[in-house]
Amino acid sequence: MRIARLALGAGLAGLLACSAAETGPAAPGTTDGRTSVFLTDAPFPFEGVSRVDIHVVSIALALHADTSDAGLPWVAVATPDRTFNLLELQNGTTSLLGGAVIPPGDYRAVRLIFDPERSSITDAAGHQIVSTTTPGTPGIDWQAKGGNPSLFAQVEEPVAIDENGEEILIDFDVGRSFLYDGHGGFTFMPALRAIVRSQSGAVTGQVRRADTGDPIVNAGIGVHLAFDTSAVIGPLLASAHSDAGGRFTASFLRPGFYDVVAEDLARQGPTTVIKIQVQAGKTTDAGVLSY
């Protein structure tokens, strides 16, 4: 059996440079496989925040979807017990949480246990925002009971793991997970997705002003499930934001059709909707979104 190895901040390029024993499935002909769990995120949209640190205690999987069942058998995959800055995990960058040899099966639940007391937000001036137990006061209301509460990731399709193992991505959408009250207070409403890396694709594009052609910085991009009709935009699945050049990437999407729309975070209005198709292992260019 292979020993799980933890890595922080390697990103996709770094992972590709590692050996299969560190990051990937077992070699052909072997009977045991290593399942790795990575952490990623859709970028937090507020310019006034420099860090969003989450202390991850452990990750586990279950074959059944009913997470309310107290007797649900969980299979431990990783116990990093480390703090991760989610804002470093953008545009497809991932951080290895750990891995383990686990029984093959179709896993329908993913549980992340974190420590609120070792988690925080840091503003642009370097001030650390920590937990609060009083609603309406500056700080983070984690809405959690106990020392190490559990978060459950949305599993869109069962995570199929065979004897060769698999790489699982947990997409932590910061922008949707921390609701700001405008007065220094945040309410934690976790939005996490779990997906197998090999079964996912990405979408990229650029946001520009229609009148000048200038790139728009920090535009919020929403990736919605596409309906057959063009009259209705489907549910929001993932979010991203544009960089200094107006470019964006939303990663780790299931194959299928999506509606992509951007909105200036200054609320100057949304772009038109662009329908795209995502394919596994590929990045689809949505082109230029402008308004």
What pLDDT, in 10s, does the model give residues 1-24? 222 222 222 222 222 222 222 222
pLDDT tens profile 237-266: 888 888 899 999 998 899 999 999 987 554
**Do both 155 and 44 map to the same domain?**
yes
Q: Is 266 exposed, middle or buried (0-12, 13-18, 19+ CB in 10 A)?
A: exposed
pLDDT at 63: 94
Q: Percent of the chain having pLDDT more than 90?
A: 37
Residues 6+ apart with CB under 8 A from 135: 141, 185
Is residue 229 in a domain? yes
* 190 and 116 in a common domain: yes
Average pLDDT value for residue range 84-94:
86
Domain annotation covers residue 1:
no
User: Does residue 2 belong to any structural domain of this protein?
Assistant: no
Mean pLDDT of 49-77: 91
Average pLDDT over residues 179-205: 88
Domain membership of residue 140 (yes or no) is yes
Same domain for 51 and 121, yes or no, is yes
Query: Given 139, 166, 199, which residue is the final one in a domain?
Result: 199
- Cα-to-chain-centroid distance, residue 142: 18
Please, are residues 191 and 272 in contact by the beta-carbon 8 Å criterion?
no
The residue-averaged pLDDT of 261-289 equals: 82
Q: Do 137 and 245 reside in the same domain of the chain?
A: no
Domain C-terminal end among 146, 175, 199: 199
Of 26-30, 132-136, 281-285, least confident by mean pLDDT is 26-30
Confidence of residue 56 (pLDDT cuts 50, 70, 90): very high
DSSP string for residues in 7-23: -SS-HHHHHHHS-HHHH
Domain end point (choices 199, 224, 251): 199
* 219 confidence band (pLDDT: 50, 70, 90): confident
One domain, residues 219 and 279: yes
Q: In this model, does residue 209 exceed pLDDT 80? A: yes
Taking the C-alpha atoms of residue 39 and residue 163, their distance in angstroms, rounded to an integer, is 22
- Would you give the DSSP letter of residue 46? -
Spatial contact of 77 and 102, defined as CB atoms under 8 Å apart: yes
Task: Please indicate, yes or no, whether the overall pTM of this predicted structure exceeds 0.95.
Answer: no
Instruction: Please give the average per-residue pLDDT across 55-59, as a whole number.
Output: 95
In a domain, 150, yes or no: yes
Q: Which of 73, 55, 56 minimizes the C-alpha distance to 64?
A: 73
Pick 73 or 16 by higher pLDDT. Answer: 73
pLDDT at 89: 86
Domain span at residue 71?
11-199
Note the pLDDT tens digit of each residue in 127-142.
999 998 787 788 999 9
